[in-house]
Amino acid sequence: MDRLQFTLTVTFHYLFPILTMGLALFLAWMKTVSYLGNEGRRLRPFRKTPAERDAYDGAAHFWAKVFGVNFAVGVVTGVPLEFQFGTNWASFSNYSGGVIGQTLALEGVFAFFAESVFLGLFLAGRGRVGPRLHWISALMVFVGSWVSGFFIIATNAWMQHPVAYALEGGRAQLDSLWGLLTNPWLPWQYFHNMSGAAVTGAFVLAALGAFYTLSERHVEFARICLRVGVVGALIFTTLQIFPTGDEHARRVARYQPSSFAAAEGLFQTSKGAPLVIIGNPDTERRRLESTLEMPHFLSFLTSRRWNDTIRGLDSIPTNRWPDSVPLVYYAYHIMVGLGTILFVVALLGALLLRRGRLFRSRPMLWALMLACPFTYIANIAGWTVAETARQPWVVFNLMRTHAGASPARAVPAGTGIFTLLGFTGLYLLVGLLYVLLILRLVARGPD
Amino acid sequence: MATAWFIFLALMIAVYAVLDGFDLGVGALHRILARTDAERDEAAATIGPIWDGNEVWLIAGGGVLFLAFPKAYAAAFSGLYFGLIIVLWLLVGRGLGLELRRQIDNPLWRIACDTVFWLSSAALALTFGVALGNVVRGVPLGPDGYFHLPLFAILNWYALLIGIFGLVVLSAHGARFLAWRASGGLADRAGRWARRLWWGELVLTVGLVWPTHTVRAEMFTSFQDHPWRLIFPALTLVALGAAYLSDRAGAWVGAFGASSVFIAGLLATAAAGLYPSVLPAREDHPFGLTVHNAASSDHALRVALFWWPVGIALAIVYFTLAYRLFLRPTRDDEPRTVSGV
């Protein structure tokens, strides 16, 4: 029940930071172009006429409104999370607070203050603050949201691959903050996650640009969105696959062989393991069915040697397998499949943009628009892999998930059901309001 | 080391109560003081761009509790489960009410949003008081370090009294802020309410001494044992007196300052009386959590002592910058609504 509730609240919450972090990057970019650009610049993206700079500033102004709505919903759905650690996961908090208390408190003082204050300044608009401070505010909102992401991933990385702690009296206690922040699991998970958020940001930009172009409204604004969005999408879908996706998968293979084997559907330890493109895992008979594979590729991708041995699920006791192997497997393949498709869409879009045909190519514009929701699915699928593959552990190899929940004496089961229903209803309402507000912004368009 | 973190925690809570206190107070009086649509806009605009930043102090305070006293964090939040979840729902409702009121241009929509904002702000002020009341009174901690209080045991007589105190104090705080920042009829009405609520503050401050003594006599012995700690209640009373004088004189900046000191003084008094307890147990339960048995390892606390002040210093710089811009007198031709989105 606690798991269901936390899954619901954290997944719903995360829909918003994806865009907050992704959009913050592009907002900062547009503000930077508009603030630093002039006709004499050597760097091409900054070579802008005053009219173009104004257009970029106008575009940033519109996206700031979207960002504001998104951020507000992100905050109201995010606040419960910090407290749910205590309400629903008291034993886990008690066990690991000595370690992850550091990263969560670091996030509070180094990210949230900057983010909230500078967003306030940014949204108050250029009328009230000077152009330079307005630009700095945009940069600080970007820095704040990405620092916030860093400390959250640092927390998650510790749960995935606990380091820098000692067990004292049945509780994990930090023995090196440096070790916690240089967890080998951390950097690639962070870059992979942030580039995933940037992919969503880029596709949201491109999708709205495509929508306005197709409906022949706000043409000038739409072109800026398309240009920034498509180039951004190409950069970040590429980074998403290589190096971040590749490197992160290799860390998973090294530190969580059970998760890696489940995600790849590898039941038998094998030499020269194949990479599965299509296939249905059959947990009972411990094999994949109706498969399409690329021989030796998995070994090569993991260790750069074609005939290396990869540990399969058979090398791991069943009680340490992920709770649901098919869930991990499918979520992982959905993520990878969508990632590849999004890369192709971005690549085609960028090619057309370079040839100057993007703004007239209706099929491409439609593809960009329709691709946008799938970026969310890919991000959520990625987190589904990360979280379900770690099960049955809440802290990998240290604490089982059921042992982390609040003791039944403190939080009886019925209370969990009640608040779960409450959160479901409340978030349904919040989600509807969010969609309504975004649609209104889109209908009104940039001024 | 744990003592230092106890002081930081008290400091965070005090800053939160002073800062978010005034926007909660403005919210709690919103539909009472602001009669017309324009006045409601004005009241909302006085806290528009900053309430969100103020609320971050609550998150950061929760972070400090988690960092320094994870055991107390786990026990308090799971034991006061319903109280906490209700706070979360109210925070969601209040934030949405305030941020969305201008999003749809329809008078009925605004009334709906304003009502949600008003009632949830008032309920939050009450609930924070109830939470403090439960901490002061103590909770039935078991030997495993956990407890369970059902909703109506959370709302016990003492906690409810402190809850009402919280509502009165924060409303008065908000009224002084409005009297300072708003204009015209709204400011006048806020001033009148501030003067009226002052009597409530006085009656409850004095009247709560005896009930507090009955539920936690240790608070009073701790002041006897360490007389220097009496500086906090003394400061509180001085601030209350100063608030009276400035209320009468209509010196609202001073009144707001005095009521800030009053709130911080009350919390400091509570903290000084409770120390070394972080989460005390009720009389018949000997398993209270103190700075000694609930703290993180010494190493963790010492490491955090390096980065935490840096982060807080940065936060103070940001807030000073934002407040200086925000409190700059607005010219009349400028649009007053700069609310969030």
The pLDDT score that the predictor gives to residue B334 is 43
Residue in B closest to A92 by C-alpha? B74
| Stated pTM of the model | 0.90
Question: Residue A189 above 50 pLDDT?
Answer: yes
**CB nearest to A98's CB, from B59, B70, B308:** B70
Average pLDDT, chain A: 90
Which chain A residue's Cα is nearest to B296?
A98
Substitution target in A12, A65, A76, A152 with the highest count of B β-carbons within 10 Å is A76
Among chain A residues, CA nearest to B103: A437
Hey, are the CB atoms on B77 and A412 less than 8 Å from each other? no
Cα–Cα distance between B316 and A19 in angstroms, integer?
28
DSSP-derived 3-state class of residue A422: helix
Residues 6+ apart with CB under 8 A from B213: B219, B220
Give the closest of A94, A114, A426 to B71, CB-based: A94
pLDDT of residue A126: 67
Residue A88 pLDDT: 85
Q: Is A8 on the interface with B (CB under 8 A)?
A: no
B47 touches chain A (CB under 8 A): no
Q: How far apart are CA A197 and CA B22, in angstroms?
A: 36
A357-381 per-position pLDDT tens digit: 999 999 999 999 999 999 999 999 9
Quick: pLDDT tens for B31-89.
999 888 889 999 998 887 788 888 889 989 999 999 999 999 999 988 888 888 888 88
Contacts of A98 in chain B (CB under 8 A): 70, 296-297, 300
Say whether pLDDT at B335 is over 70: no
Interface contacts A/B by beta carbons within 8 Å: 225
Phi, psi of A168 (to 5 degrees): -130, 120
Lowest-confidence region among A405-409, B164-168, B296-300 = A405-409
Our CA-based measurement puts residue B166 at a distance from the nearest CA of chain A, in whole angstroms, of 21
DSSP state of B336: S
Provide CB contacts within 8 A for A260, sequence distance 6+. A249, A252, A253, A266, A302, A310, A311
- DSSP letters along B200-228, please? HHHHHHHHTHHHHHHH-THHHHHHHH-GG
Which residues from chain B sit within 8 angstroms of residue A109, using beta carbons? 60, 63, 307-308, 311-312, 314-315
**In chain A, what is the straight-line distance between the N-terminal and C-terminal CA atoms, in Å?**
47
> Does B148 contact A409 at a Cβ distance shorter than 8 Å?
yes
What are the Cα distances from residue A408, in Å, to A404, A416, B154, B294? 11, 10, 18, 21
Give me the percent of chain A exceeding a pLDDT of 90.
53
pLDDT of A62:
92
> What's the rounded Cα separation, in Å, for the pair B142 and B149?
12
pLDDT band at A1 (very low <50, low <70, confident <90, very high): low
Tokens 């988690």 sit on residue: B66
Q: How close B27 gets to chain A, by Cα (Å)?
A: 17
Q: Do B92 and A123 touch (CB under 8 A)?
A: no
Q: By C-alpha distance, which of B79, B78, B141 is closest to B283?
A: B141
Contact B71/A at CB under 8 A? yes
pLDDT-derived band at A194, boundaries 50, 70, 90: very high
Q: Report whether the peptide linkage leading into residue B140 is cis, meaning its omega lies within 30 degrees of zero.
A: no
Nearest to B88 among A79, A112, A128 (CB): A79
For A312, the 3-state DSSP assignment is coil
d(CA A332, CA A387): 11
Q: What is the rounded distance in angstroms from the CA atom of residue B301 to the CA atom of residue B307?
A: 11
**Candidates A113, A122, A129, partner chain B, best to mutate (most B CBs within 10 A):** A113
Asked whether the beta carbons of A349 and A358 are under 8 A apart, the reply is: yes
Instruction: Decide if B281 contacts B287 (C-beta within 8 A).
Output: yes
Interval A90-132: pLDDT, tens? 889 989 988 999 999 999 899 989 988 898 888 877 677 888 9
| A95-108 as b/e: b if 16+ CB within 10 A | bbbbbbbbbbbbbb
d(CA B261, CA B237): 10
Q: Do A97 and B318 touch (CB under 8 A)?
A: no
CB nearest B338 (choices: A69, A77, A124) = A124
Measured between alpha carbons, how far is A128 from A74 in angstroms, rounded to an integer? 25
What is the distance in angstroms between the CA of the first residue and the CA of the last residue of chain B?
Answer: 43
Rounded Cα distance between A408 and A411, Å, is 5
The whole-angstrom distance between B217's CA and the closest CA on chain A is 27
Q: What is the mean pLDDT of residues A390-402?
A: 89
Would the CB atoms of B303 and A102 count as touching at under 8 Å? yes
The torsion region of residue A316 among left (phi > 0), alpha (psi -120 to 50) and beta comes to beta
| % pLDDT > 90, chain B | 53
pLDDT at A417: 82
Asked if A127 is an interface residue toward chain B (Cβ–Cβ < 8 A), one would say yes
Question: How many residues appear in chain A?
Answer: 447
Q: Give residue for tokens 């360490």.
A: B226
Identify which of B59, B299, B341 has the shortest CB distance to residue A123: B341
In whole angstroms, give the CA distance from residue B65 to residue A86. Answer: 11
Nearest-CB residue to A90 (from B77, B88, B315): B77
At residue A155, does pLDDT exceed 50? Answer: yes
Residues 6+ apart with CB under 8 A from B257: none
Three-class DSSP category at B337: coil
Distance (Å, rounded) from C-alpha B181 to C-alpha B285? 48
d(CA B299, CA B313): 22
Q: Cα(A223)–Cα(A359) distance, rounded to whole angstroms?
A: 7
Backbone angles phi, psi at A138, to 5 degrees: -60, -45
**Residue A223: how many CB atoms within 10 A of its CB?**
18
Helices (H), A271-324: 297-303
Whether the CB of A410 is below 8 Å from some CB of chain B: the reply is yes
Q: Is B190 exposed, middle or buried (0-12, 13-18, 19+ CB in 10 A)?
A: buried
- DSSP track, B3-61: HHHHHHHHHHHHHHHHHHHHHHHHHHTHHHH--SHHHHHHHHHHHTTTHHHHHHHHHHH
The values of phi and psi at residue A86, to 5°, are: -80, -45
- Chain A residues 147-186 with CB within 8 Å of chain B: 168, 171, 173-175, 177
**Selected residues 22-61 of chain A with any CB under 8 Å from a CB in chain B:** none
Work out the angle between the directed axes of helices B51-68 and A113-124 (0-180°, nearest 10). 170
Write down the pLDDT at residue B331.
45
User: How many other C-beta atoms are found inside a 10 Å radius of the C-beta of residue B110?
Assistant: 20
H-state helical runs in B34-156: 37-47, 51-68, 70-79, 81-100, 107-137, 151-154
Return the pLDDT at B329.
59
Contact A412 B148 (CB under 8 A): yes
Chain B residues close to A69, C-beta within 8 Å: 341
Structure-token pair, residue B88: 């979360």
Query: Is the model's pLDDT at B333 over the cut of 70?
Result: no
Q: Residue B312 pLDDT more than 90?
A: yes
Query: Which positions ≥6 away from B287 have C-beta within 8 Å?
Result: B141, B142, B143, B145, B281
B56: which chain A residues are within 8 Å (Cβ-Cβ)?
108, 112-113, 116
**What is the per-residue burial (b if ≥16 Cβ within 10 Å, else e) of A111-133?**
bbbbbbbbbbbbbbeeebbeeeb
Residue B184 is predicted with a pLDDT of: 87
- Higher-pLDDT residue of B338 and A161 is A161
Interhelix angle B218-225/B252-274, rounded to 10 degrees, is 100
